[in-house]
A and B are shown apart, each in its own frame.
Chain A
Amino acid sequence: DAEITQSPRHKITETGRQVTLACHQTWNHNNMFWYRQDLGHGLRLIHYSYGVHDTNKGEVSDGYSVSRSNTEDLPLTLESAASSQTSVYFCASSDASPGYEQYFGPGTRLTVT
């Protein structure tokens, strides 16, 4: 069955370190998204991609970057981790049609100390 996987599921890191969160989907979807979920803010879009070599900034992109070298993967990098980036991170994917239904990964809980 097609799925989206995220790794690691839990991560503790120190302020200032570079961290990369992996997202891998086997749906063969063109569209991939990264969100963060925080109490009181709901899900907020960090970055998204509509295809290989395409990346776009979402509403909370400062301090994060992504790259898309193939259809299946969209890794999220925190260039220099900050305590404000402690959150739960979700990856999602969708196809271009017929309704853009989004499928989510299980999430990565990141703690920056």
Chain B
Amino acid sequence: KQEVTQIPAALSVPEGENLVLNCSFTDSAIYNLQWFRQDPGKGLTSLLLIQSSQREQTSGRLNASLDKSSGRSTLYIAASQPGDSATYLCAVTEGTYKYIFGTGTRLKVLA
């Protein structure tokens, strides 16, 4: 059974730092991996989607990488800002359209 883990559960950094969020999964036979952002009391906003044939995706200050063989993905945030404070979730799908979610990393960027 696929399990998705995100460590650490919470992270505080000063503004301007570059940071990396980690996501690991137990079964490498995934179809794609998606990173989401969730603000308190809000829904999930899609940040980046990486298909299994891709190694990374970039959007603005965000870069997500995927290493299927090792069961890992990282989300790199450059020059962090207080507005980046949120919970970041990763999710994988194995080709059945269903996503399996990690429990998230709660990020706080201090001004």
Contacts and interface: CB of A to CB of B under 8 A. Distances in A.
Interface size on B, as a range, is: 20 to 34
Interface residues of A, number: 26
A48 B45 CA distance: 20
B93 interface: yes
Nearest to B6: A42
B33 to A, nearest CB: 10
Interface string B20-55: 000000000001101010000011111001010000
B98 interface: yes
B97 A31 contact: yes
Interface of B: 31-32, 34, 36, 42-46, 49, 51, 89, 91, 93, 97-99, 101-104
A102 B46 contact: yes
Interface string A90-113: 101010101111111111000000
A43 interface: yes
A106 B104 contact: no
Given A99-B32, A104-B44, A106-B43, A58 B103 contact: no
Given A42-B102, A101-B34, A94 B97 contact: yes
Contacts of B46: 101-104
B31 to A, nearest CB: 7
B44 to A, nearest CB: 4
Closest 10 A/B residue pairs (Cβ): A42-B103, A104-B44, A43-B101, A104-B43, A106-B43, A101-B49, A31-B97, A99-B51, A99-B49, A42-B101
Interface of A: 31, 33, 35, 40-45, 48, 50, 58, 90, 92, 94, 96, 98-107
Contacts of A31: 97
Nearest to B33: A99
Given A42-B89, A58-B98, A100 B32 contact: yes
Contacts of B34: 101-102
Contact of B44 (A40, A41, A44, A90): A90
Contacts of A35: 101
